[in-house]
Protein backbone atom coordinates (compact mmCIF):
# COMPACT_ATOMS: atom_id res chain seq x y z
CA UNK A 1 0.00 0.00 0.00
CA UNK A 2 1.10 3.57 -0.53
CA UNK A 3 0.55 4.46 3.13
CA UNK A 4 3.82 5.53 4.76
CA UNK A 5 2.68 4.79 8.32
CA UNK A 6 4.09 1.74 10.04
CA UNK A 7 1.45 -0.91 10.70
CA UNK A 8 2.17 -0.47 14.44
CA UNK A 9 0.63 3.00 14.29
CA UNK A 10 -2.73 1.37 13.43
CA UNK A 11 -2.77 -1.16 16.28
CA UNK A 12 -4.05 1.26 18.93
CA UNK A 13 -7.20 1.97 16.88
CA UNK A 14 -8.23 -1.66 16.43
CA UNK A 15 -11.41 -2.77 18.20
CA UNK A 16 -12.50 -5.39 15.69
CA UNK A 17 -10.91 -8.46 14.15
CA UNK A 18 -12.31 -10.00 10.98
CA UNK A 19 -10.82 -13.18 9.57
CA UNK A 20 -11.19 -15.32 6.50
CA UNK A 21 -11.03 -19.07 7.21
CA UNK A 22 -9.26 -21.09 4.53
CA UNK A 23 -5.62 -20.03 4.30
CA UNK A 24 -5.89 -17.83 7.41
CA UNK A 25 -7.38 -19.92 10.22
CA UNK A 26 -6.36 -23.06 8.29
CA UNK A 27 -3.30 -23.83 6.20
CA UNK A 28 -5.45 -23.82 3.08
CA UNK A 29 -5.43 -27.58 2.58
CA UNK A 30 -8.49 -29.81 2.64
CA UNK A 31 -8.55 -33.51 3.41
CA UNK A 32 -11.40 -35.20 1.58
CA UNK A 33 -12.77 -38.39 3.15
CA UNK A 34 -14.17 -41.28 1.08
CA UNK A 35 -17.63 -39.99 2.04
CA UNK A 36 -16.78 -36.61 0.50
CA UNK A 37 -16.48 -34.73 3.80
CA UNK A 38 -13.91 -31.92 3.64
CA UNK A 39 -11.77 -31.69 6.77
CA UNK A 40 -9.68 -28.69 7.83
CA UNK A 41 -7.08 -28.25 10.57
CA UNK A 42 -6.99 -25.23 12.88
CA UNK A 43 -4.34 -24.17 15.39
CA UNK A 44 -5.12 -24.38 19.11
CA UNK A 45 -2.81 -21.36 19.56
CA UNK A 46 -4.95 -19.32 17.17
CA UNK A 47 -8.01 -20.56 19.09
CA UNK A 48 -6.55 -19.39 22.38
CA UNK A 49 -5.91 -15.93 20.92
CA UNK A 50 -9.44 -15.69 19.46
CA UNK A 51 -10.96 -16.62 22.82
CA UNK A 52 -8.67 -14.20 24.66
CA UNK A 53 -9.69 -11.35 22.33
CA UNK A 54 -13.38 -12.09 22.85
CA UNK A 55 -12.94 -12.24 26.63
CA UNK A 56 -11.08 -8.90 26.47
CA UNK A 57 -14.08 -7.26 24.78
CA UNK A 58 -12.99 -7.10 21.15
CA UNK A 59 -15.40 -7.62 18.27
CA UNK A 60 -14.71 -10.77 16.29
CA UNK A 61 -16.20 -11.73 12.97
CA UNK A 62 -15.58 -14.44 10.39
CA UNK A 63 -16.32 -13.83 6.71
CA UNK A 64 -15.58 -16.83 4.50
CA UNK A 65 -16.61 -18.10 1.11
CA UNK A 66 -16.44 -21.64 2.47
CA UNK A 67 -19.46 -23.23 4.10
CA UNK A 68 -18.16 -26.05 6.28
CA UNK A 69 -20.44 -26.51 9.30
CA UNK A 70 -17.60 -28.08 11.29
CA UNK A 71 -15.78 -24.76 10.97
CA UNK A 72 -18.88 -22.92 12.23
CA UNK A 73 -19.15 -25.24 15.25
CA UNK A 74 -15.46 -24.82 16.14
CA UNK A 75 -15.60 -21.03 15.93
CA UNK A 76 -18.92 -20.79 17.78
CA UNK A 77 -17.44 -22.96 20.57
CA UNK A 78 -14.74 -20.30 20.98
CA UNK A 79 -17.47 -17.69 21.49
CA UNK A 80 -17.54 -16.10 18.04
CA UNK A 81 -21.12 -15.05 17.34
CA UNK A 82 -20.77 -13.38 13.95
CA UNK A 83 -19.81 -16.12 11.51
CA UNK A 84 -20.66 -15.57 7.86
CA UNK A 85 -19.94 -18.69 5.83
CA UNK A 86 -20.74 -19.04 2.13
CA UNK A 87 -20.14 -15.29 1.81
CA UNK A 88 -19.64 -14.61 -1.87
CA UNK A 89 -19.96 -10.84 -1.48
CA UNK A 90 -17.59 -10.08 1.38
CA UNK A 91 -18.06 -6.31 1.08
CA UNK A 92 -21.80 -6.70 1.66
CA UNK A 93 -21.15 -8.83 4.76
CA UNK A 94 -18.52 -6.37 6.01
CA UNK A 95 -20.79 -3.35 5.61
CA UNK A 96 -23.73 -5.11 7.24
CA UNK A 97 -21.60 -6.19 10.22
CA UNK A 98 -20.04 -2.75 10.72
CA UNK A 99 -23.43 -1.04 10.50
CA UNK A 100 -25.01 -3.49 12.96
CA UNK A 101 -22.36 -2.77 15.61
CA UNK A 102 -21.61 0.86 14.66
CA UNK A 103 -17.95 0.11 13.90
CA UNK A 104 -15.76 2.36 11.77
CA UNK A 105 -13.74 0.69 9.01
CA UNK A 106 -10.63 2.34 10.49
CA UNK A 107 -11.12 0.21 13.65
CA UNK A 108 -10.97 -3.07 11.72
CA UNK A 109 -8.07 -5.47 11.31
CA UNK A 110 -8.94 -7.88 8.49
CA UNK A 111 -6.74 -10.85 7.70
CA UNK A 112 -7.12 -12.52 4.33
CA UNK A 113 -4.89 -14.55 2.07
CA UNK A 114 -6.33 -14.75 -1.44
CA UNK A 115 -8.09 -12.82 -4.21
CA UNK A 116 -11.65 -12.99 -2.72
CA UNK A 117 -10.34 -10.98 0.26
CA UNK A 118 -8.88 -8.18 -1.89
CA UNK A 119 -11.97 -5.88 -2.11
CA UNK A 120 -12.62 -6.02 1.65
CA UNK A 121 -8.98 -5.51 2.55
CA UNK A 122 -8.88 -2.28 0.55
CA UNK A 123 -11.59 -0.83 2.81
CA UNK A 124 -10.39 -1.56 6.36
CA UNK A 125 -7.97 0.25 8.64
CA UNK A 126 -5.42 -2.55 8.95
CA UNK A 127 -5.37 -5.15 6.17
CA UNK A 128 -3.10 -8.06 7.13
CA UNK A 129 -2.15 -11.42 5.71
CA UNK A 130 -0.27 -14.59 6.58
CA UNK A 131 3.26 -15.01 5.25
CA UNK A 132 2.04 -17.45 2.59
CA UNK A 133 -0.68 -15.21 1.12
CA UNK A 134 -0.79 -14.65 -2.64
CA UNK A 135 1.30 -11.74 -4.01
CA UNK A 136 -1.73 -9.52 -4.76
CA UNK A 137 -2.82 -9.70 -1.11
CA UNK A 138 0.69 -9.11 0.19
CA UNK A 139 0.87 -6.00 -1.99
CA UNK A 140 -2.12 -4.35 -0.26
CA UNK A 141 -1.40 -5.57 3.28
CA UNK A 142 -0.09 -3.09 5.83
CA UNK A 143 1.23 -6.05 7.80
CA UNK A 144 2.42 -9.46 6.62
CA UNK A 145 2.72 -11.92 9.49
CA UNK A 146 5.90 -13.94 9.80
CA UNK A 147 3.57 -16.91 10.45
CA UNK A 148 1.68 -18.85 7.78
CA UNK A 149 -2.05 -19.49 7.57
CA UNK A 150 -3.29 -22.01 10.12
CA UNK A 151 0.09 -21.91 11.86
CA UNK A 152 -0.14 -18.89 14.14
CA UNK A 153 -0.78 -15.89 11.85
CA UNK A 154 -4.08 -15.15 13.61
CA UNK A 155 -2.48 -15.32 17.05
CA UNK A 156 0.34 -13.07 15.82
CA UNK A 157 -1.98 -10.18 14.94
CA UNK A 158 -4.29 -10.61 17.92
CA UNK A 159 -1.39 -10.76 20.35
CA UNK A 160 0.15 -7.59 18.89
CA UNK A 161 -3.10 -5.61 19.22
CA UNK A 162 -3.82 -6.84 22.73
CA UNK A 163 -0.26 -6.07 23.85
CA UNK A 164 -0.55 -2.49 22.57
CA UNK A 165 -3.81 -2.16 24.54
CA UNK A 166 -2.29 -3.75 27.65
CA UNK A 167 -4.75 -6.67 27.52
CA UNK A 168 -2.63 -9.65 26.50
CA UNK A 169 -1.61 -10.91 29.95
CA UNK A 170 -4.92 -10.34 31.67
CA UNK A 171 -6.77 -13.58 31.01
CA UNK A 172 -4.90 -16.86 31.14
CA UNK A 173 -7.87 -18.83 32.42
CA UNK A 174 -9.75 -18.69 29.10
CA UNK A 175 -11.05 -22.03 27.90
CA UNK A 176 -10.04 -22.44 24.30
CA UNK A 177 -10.50 -26.03 23.32
pLDDT at 5: 74
pTM over 0.85: yes
Cα–Cα distance, 25 to 158 (Å, whole number): 12
25 Cβ neighbours under 8 A, 6+ residues apart: 19, 42, 43, 46, 62, 71, 75, 149, 150, 154
55 is in an annotated binding site: no
Domains along the sequence of the chain with CATH: 10-164 (3.40.50.1000)
Cα–Cα distance, 170 to 21 (Å, whole number): 27
Categorize the per-residue pLDDT at 3 as very low, low, confident or very high, splitting at 50, 70 and 90: low
160 Cβ neighbours under 8 A, 6+ residues apart: 8, 11
pLDDT greater than 70 at residue 170? no
**Least confident stretch, 5-9, 81-85, 92-96:** 5-9
113 is in an annotated binding site: yes
Amino acid sequence: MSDDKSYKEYLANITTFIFDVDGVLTDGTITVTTEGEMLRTMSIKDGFALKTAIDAGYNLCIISGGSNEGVRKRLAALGIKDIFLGAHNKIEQLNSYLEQYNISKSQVLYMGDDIPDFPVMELVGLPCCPQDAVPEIKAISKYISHKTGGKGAVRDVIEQVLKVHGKWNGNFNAKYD
